[in-house]
Amino acid sequence: MQIRELKIPDSYEITPKQFGDDRGVFLEWFRADHLEQAIGRRFPIAQSNTSVSKRGVVRGIHFADIAPSQAKYVTATRGAVLDFVIDIRVGSPTYGQWDSVLLDDVDRRAIFISEGLGHCFVALSDDATVSYLVSAPFNAEREHGINPLDPAIALEFPAEAGTPLLSPKDEVAPGLEEAAAAGLLPTWEQAKAFYATLGGVG
């Protein structure tokens, strides 16, 4: 597999090598050793999730308090989504910026999003099925959201997604600067200090 860091530090695109024949396709969609070598630290897996979304559904922007927050390794097993990573770490050199990766059942890419980063995706097809490996169990009291339509962030949704469909919770989530003013956002220093506690890899 090929792993490249995105323009948001501590987020990565993973492109697996696929082996196809007349029976179908085989691939390794996750390799802890390869990922941890690329990111330079451990990625403990504590929970796995699956979501199914119709075209236009937007999930996010979501994040969790550090520590432990949640690192995420995300792929699409059916259909297609455009997956976004948003730097919400106050003090980061890329604070307020984002990058994206197309996740689909053709190239079968994945995205790794470190703790303290914001995560969002928009479904580009009906029954878009997304699977996540996450580093900590869900804890509702430590989960937060930012409105994905916040013009200060300006996520760009493809025309093929149609009209964005948000949950009631995401519709009323604060914008980035409102969340910062309320003290909800992690800092660059907090994130980096937490990553250091996860240990290096040989």
What does the angle CA 23 – CA 28 – CA 34 come to, to the nearest 5 degrees? 160
The phi, psi pair for 27, rounded to 5°, reads: -155, 155
3-state secondary structure of 13: strand
Structure tokens at 171: 């519709």
Amino acid type, 69 = S
CB atoms within 10 A of CB 9: 16
Helices vs strands, H then E, count in the chain: 4, 13
Q: Which residues contact 147 (CB under 8 A, 6 or more apart)?
A: 61, 170, 171, 172, 173, 174, 175
Amino acid type, 152 = A
Q: Percentages helix, strand, coil for the chain, rounded to the nearest 5?
A: 15, 40, 45
Catalytic residues: 62, 132
